[in-house]
Structure 1
């Protein structure tokens, strides 16, 4: 007996799978050096320290039960203390909300802050996870380009002058994914001032801010205005498996998010939140651990940039990786990175074409490279394979 299934929601028609996730399925072969994924290095994750914290949590029964929807209270207290230092002001626990990774925070905020058709301003090239969230919310998306100092706030000002009224602006302010750049202090202040003057929200997405190499990232955009909601995560500094992210937002926003989270998953994992609490509260250990991750990533970033510039010369421009996980590369000779990709895969190296991150621009001559999961020798080999595929 055959039957016609009922239709799915119409909003799914505007969604598409992440090109990056689809690409990772094609690059799982062990002989391919993967520069495509945005993954932290599992070899640098603190397995022994995680095991100790897990054992400590499992000595009681509380970690086996449901926990509060906004997050386990001791974790929120630890995060409030950390964010107080970061923001240079006292952050109340009521302003801290724990989510299943910062991506869930972004998704819940889209439901809380956006009506269908609302204007959302994003950076171009854009973080793909944000595009998926805002498209699912039925938002109208307008892009503002990046340059070496981050979001072009002057272009945003022009949009406002033309009468556009965004509900929110999304920015990856530190070590941008995919652009690799960091927003300047002056632009951060100006963005916050515009949000206050025109009454829109800013979502400052900051999973990479602690992964600086030579000097700390500038003060957060959230330092300058209560209109800025700050997102961060333990995924990049400890481990993604914890699925512990958080936001710092005014209390009314947190309470609205709480209502939606109760409908989505009731609460997060008490076990992983208790593990994260112990690790984030152990400041001496955490400082040492993050320093070691910074050192490893910094050396890898320098190797990748050096090899690209040495092997390709003026044929490419690439960002100076001062932190984070990514290098953005532009070919100056018209090389189409989508057309190059099959040859690169055949040569044994994978990257993400720039078009995967495009909103207005096509970025067909660009690519994003992730340096975190390969050592210096492997990165050198990867650039060699890429150069051969590109005819160098």
Structure 2
């Protein structure tokens, strides 16, 4: 008799691998210029400065020891000072919680704030990592479309007027992934007001806020209300490998997250948190470093957008990249980007089809393009290859 295989948890039935992660393997071919990834440029990461900070941290044996579940104390103090400036109020250290990247914060918050069947509101198109977390939590998901000013709060207000009561609303308010837009100042204040009036949480996911090109974005949603939990990360301005993310949340939420984190991984890395603390506290050096990253990304964004508009004209509308890492485009002639992708890869260019970011269905004629890891000449060539691929699929 053959053995009966033990079952896996039922919640896995509704989960699927990220199409973006799967696509990255395809895009790693050396002959492919990839617009698909969502990675910062490793060449711009401060390796020498990280090495020096690591050497400094290792002079103390405690850097190799366990640290507190909420994070290394001096790092939390540095983060509290930085967040106080952003939010325009004094952020106590007790409200700052360090996680293994901001994605872990999102996953832990889903466990703290959501019961199975709870309603979660997300933006559409949506950040794929958030969809994976909320689906794993067994949440009902309602999608609110974006426009040039971010989430359509008029549609959120209609949902609330119908009697729906979300447990939380998730927003990538600044330089949206994948939509490329930024929520206006007025909508940020309105979203915080709706949260206070109707008793739901807002999770403001802000990994890209410091990567602005022409001017800083509006004050965070978290500056406007107490029901907003703010997430951010050092991955996009320092290095993803540090795995330093954080949240700013009311103390009762932070303490609940701490209980769950103790069961997940006890604590983060004392070593990388000390490295991050040194770099984030060195304000003069950090300002110069981030300026260099902004300048490089800004030039690349303009090169990509300019090439798309010259190559495609009115056939492909794309967002203006005012910051962040992504440009969102939509074909106006009904081109199916999922069908276009294999043709494009054979032509030597990869992108992410828009359907990968749809909550249910849609965005069949859309695509997301990342500009951070290629120089201007490579981006221009990538768009030329995309143009040839798109031309070959026309009847």
Per-residue deviation, 1:3 = 1.9
Match of 2:159 in 1: 159
For 2:342 and 2:71, locate their aligned partners in 1 and report how far apart those are by CA, in whole Å: 45
For 1:165 and 1:231, locate their aligned partners in 2 and report how far apart those are by CA, in whole Å: 23
For 1:5 and 1:100, locate their aligned partners in 2 and report how far apart those are by CA, in whole Å: 33
Match of 1:96 in 2: 96
Match of 2:273 in 1: 273
Match of 2:213 in 1: 213
Q: Could you tell me whether the CA contact under 8 Å between 1:124 and 1:361 is conserved in 2?
A: no
Deviation string for 1:13-65 (max 9, x for gaps)? 01000000011111111110111010000000000000000000011101110
Identify which range, 356-365 or 116-125, moves more after superposition. 356-365
Match of 1:72 in 2: 72
Match of 1:37 in 2: 37
Unpaired runs of 5+ residues, structure 1, are none
Matches of residues 42-61 of structure 1 in structure 2 within 5 Å? 42-61=42-61
Identify which range, 26-35 or 119-128, moves more after superposition. 26-35
> Given the two structures, how large is their TM-score scaled by the length of structure 1?
0.99
1:364 to 2:379 alignment: no
For 1:27 and 1:330, locate their aligned partners in 2 and report how far apart those are by CA, in whole Å: 21
SS of corresponding position for 2:260: helix
SS of corresponding position for 2:391: coil
Match of 2:254 in 1: 254
SS of corresponding position for 1:369: strand
Match of 2:293 in 1: 293
SS of corresponding position for 1:99: strand
1:332 to 2:327 alignment: no
Unpaired runs of 5+ residues, structure 2, are none
SS of corresponding position for 1:97: strand
Match of 1:231 in 2: 231
Q: Could you tell me whether the CA contact under 8 Å between 1:212 and 1:324 is conserved in 2?
A: yes
Q: Could you tell me whether the CA contact under 8 Å between 1:105 and 1:231 is conserved in 2?
A: yes
Match of 2:142 in 1: 142
Per-residue deviation, 1:360 = 3.9
Deviation string for 1:276-332 (max 9, x for gaps)? 000000000000000000000000000000000011001011000000000000000
Match of 2:385 in 1: 385
Match of 1:118 in 2: 118
Per-residue deviation, 1:273 = 0.2
For 1:26 and 1:178, locate their aligned partners in 2 and report how far apart those are by CA, in whole Å: 20
For 1:3 and 1:147, locate their aligned partners in 2 and report how far apart those are by CA, in whole Å: 54
Q: Could you tell me whether the CA contact under 8 Å between 1:167 and 1:200 is conserved in 2?
A: yes
Match of 2:349 in 1: 349
SS of corresponding position for 1:235: coil
Match of 1:197 in 2: 197
For 1:229 and 1:252, locate their aligned partners in 2 and report how far apart those are by CA, in whole Å: 12
For 2:265 and 2:358, locate their aligned partners in 1 and report how far apart those are by CA, in whole Å: 32
Q: Could you tell me whether the CA contact under 8 Å between 1:124 and 1:360 is conserved in 2?
A: no
Match of 2:181 in 1: 181
SS of corresponding position for 1:24: helix
Deviation string for 1:170-207 (max 9, x for gaps)? 00000000000000001101000000000000000000
Per-residue deviation, 1:2 = 4.0
Per-residue deviation, 1:361 = 4.6
For 2:160 and 2:88, locate their aligned partners in 1 and report how far apart those are by CA, in whole Å: 30
Residues matched between the structures, number: 392
1:62 to 2:62 alignment: yes
SS of corresponding position for 1:267: coil
> Given the two structures, how large is their TM-score scaled by the length of structure 2?
0.99
SS of corresponding position for 1:169: strand
SS of corresponding position for 1:391: helix
Deviation string for 1:148-173 (max 9, x for gaps)? 00000110000000000000000000
